[in-house]
Chains A and B, each alone.
Chain A
Amino acid sequence: MKDLSTLRSDFPMLKNNPELIYFDNGATTLKPQVVIDAVTDFYTTHTSNVHRGDYAIAALNDRLYDEARSSFAKLLNCEAREVVFTHNASASLNQVIYGLSHGFLHEGDIILTTEAEHASNLLPWFRLVKEAGVEVKYLPMNAQANVDLEAAKELFTPRVKVVAVAMVTNVLGSILPIKELSALAHEVGALTVIDGSQAVPHMKVDVKELGIDFLACSAHKMCGPGGVGILYGRYDLLEAMEPVFMGGDMNARFDAGCGYELKHAPTRFEAGTPNIEGVIGAGAACEYLLQIGLDEIHAYEKELRSYFMEQMKQLSNIQVYNPDNEYGPITFNAEGVFSQDAAGYLSARNIAVRSGNHCAKILHEIIGTDSTIRASLYFYNTKEEVDACVAACADITLENAIGIFF
């Protein structure tokens, strides 16, 4: 296995914060210099809009923008025309859910999801429960957010029209059996809407092999800039789908009689001037990850995580909520210390983690607690950082957590 921590020198944030242990990669990731350069070069040497100008720089940006689409197509194993750029994963999911609610979903249809989902893959559905009379049901899960596939099978009736789940859950890091769920969904005529936010940055996600109909992810969680979401959609589905936003660039023609004709996917879903520099930067991030290799990234993180977990399990003051999952963040609490207090203590030791409910506000149904600490890794993290974090975790007491204020 390759030691990917050698890539740390690519990240100015790490150079500029030599003491920082950044374990909040589930929230956002650090940016390598190639991505920063791709964004700033747009500002300093080739600013223009896209799809509008008849000059050389505009043509360059058209090319870079389209190349970014091709990069993501390579990453996800789909066609470039199946990649839509949005503003974040939430926007991608909202586009799909809005689209499905216009012409595909009807009253009484069932959406299968899980109690481990992020708000962005629940609230748009909850609104449809109110507005369109669809029904939401939860796939059965164990305490570490792994789907019980056998028990789940019973839920797949002809009324099920959508299976909407995260490929990797954002709090417990469980990996859902997407291929099996897609097959079950397709058997009853349902579509799959997959939140890939915590999966795509960390492992090979082949949408064709997994049978995914729609997938959302976010550039900033995979070394890219903020403000860029990715939506993969099977092309025939995209072509049949109504866009959320109407406006410039996405229309083919319109007339004074209020008639209009829209462009084909993916342009149809990109109304208005897009986040051009963001998309170009996202393309650079995508190429950067492809160059390292998603399988390499996955293997490195998995080993680092297991090294981390083994030590955390030994600490008598720490309760870990996902010890048996092979992958994803380490999610824990320190005995007798509220998660935010514990995170505050770790912050005083220069360790950045997230505390709280991580936008998964019904997960407490599964793990029995509202709030946890999440330490999430990426390929630039090291065993030395893990050691320092474990040592700090061993010192989390109520007294120490309050002590940081004095």
Chain B
Amino acid sequence: MSELEQLLEDPAVLRELIMDHYKYPHNHSLVEDMQYRRAHMSSDSCIDDITVQAKITDGRIQDIRFDGVACTISTSSTSIMTDLLKGKTVEEAQYLIDQYMNMVDGKEYDAASLEEAVAMKNVYRQANRIRCATIGWKAIRQLIEESGETDHGE
């Protein structure tokens, strides 16, 4: 187990990660650029109101940004998602999204691939918060599908 993997086993570290991404979310502002697609996610729950924006070209996620008002779990999981998926090919991103969704559903998943996103591994213990942990991830999945870039590399 690498040093990083060991760190990501430590609850104190994971808690710190969530706090940090909540207080200082990454990629947290939208841009006015026609090359970006937007997904506004507010119907999933009564409170969260998040917009995710992504530029997906040449089979790759060139950039992901987000904005909005949401709880710690929604904000930090979306922030972590933007870090993890930015620069990945659509295929790589789809694999990671599947792993992440498996994790929050309490199923088997490839922990090493998810890096900081493993901070969300216990969210399934509060079933009503699963939608918080997946709101940003569902948005990027939707944006990938809408981009028509899913056939690249075949």
Contact = CB atoms under 8 A, between A and B. Distances in A.
Interface string A384-400: 00000000000000110
A341 B71 contact: yes
Contact of B70 (A338, A359, A402, A403): A338
A394 B23 CA distance: 21
Contact of B71 (A338, A357, A406): A338
Nearest to B122: A405
B132 A405 contact: no
A398 B72 contact: yes
B47 interface: yes
Interface in B95-132: 122-123, 125-126, 129, 132
Given A398-B22, A398-B72, A399-B19, A339 B126 contact: no
Interface string B12-25: 10110011001100
Given A355-B47, A357-B46, A406-B11, A340 B19 contact: no
Interface of B: 11-12, 14-15, 18-19, 22-23, 45-47, 69-73, 122-123, 125-126, 129, 132
A10 interface: no
B16 to A, nearest CB: 9
5 interchain residue pairs of minimum CB distance: A406-B11, A356-B46, A340-B71, A338-B71, A405-B122
B15 A371 contact: no
Given A340-B47, A344-B126, A371-B47, A403 B15 contact: yes
A338 B15 CA distance: 16
B47 A406 contact: no
B129 A344 contact: yes
A338 B72 contact: yes
B14 A406 contact: yes
A338 B70 CA distance: 7
Interface in A352-394: 355-357, 359, 370-371
B128 to A, nearest CB: 8
Contacts of A344: 126, 129
Given A356-B46, A356-B47, A371-B47, A340 B15 contact: no
A338 B48 CA distance: 10
A401 interface: yes
B14 to A, nearest CB: 6
30 contacts: A338-B70, A338-B71, A338-B72, A339-B71, A340-B45, A340-B47, A340-B71, A340-B132, A341-B71, A341-B73, A344-B129, A347-B126, A357-B46, A357-B47, A359-B46, A371-B47, A371-B69, A398-B22, A399-B19, A401-B72, A402-B15, A402-B22, A403-B15, A405-B18, A405-B73, A405-B125, A406-B11, A406-B12, A406-B15, A406-B122
B18 A370 contact: no
Contact of A402 (B19, B45, B47): B19
Nearest to A405: B122
Interface string A330-358: 00000000111100100100000001110
Given A398-B19, A405-B122, 20 more contacts: A338-B47, A338-B72, A339-B47, A339-B71, A340-B45, A340-B47, A340-B132, A341-B71, A344-B129, A356-B46, A357-B47, A359-B46, A370-B47, A398-B23, A402-B18, A402-B72, A405-B18, A405-B125, A406-B15, A406-B122
A341 to B, nearest CB: 5
A389 to B, nearest CB: 19
Given A340-B71, A341-B73, A405 B126 contact: yes
Interface residues of A, number: 20
A404 interface: yes
Contacts of B15: 399, 402-403, 405-406
Contacts of A357: 46-47
Nearest to B10: A406
Nearest to A358: B46
Nearest to A359: B46
A317 to B, nearest CB: 16
A370 B129 CA distance: 19
Nearest to B120: A405
Of the candidates A347, A398, A404, A405, the one having the most CB atoms from chain B within 10 angstroms of its own CB is A405
A404 B71 CA distance: 14
User: Which of A355, A402, A404 has the largest number of chain B CB atoms within 10 A?
Assistant: A402
A403 B123 CA distance: 11
Nearest to B119: A405
Interface in A81-95: none
A350 B14 CA distance: 24
Contacts of B129: 344
Contacts of A341: 71-73
A355 B14 CA distance: 25
Nearest to B47: A356
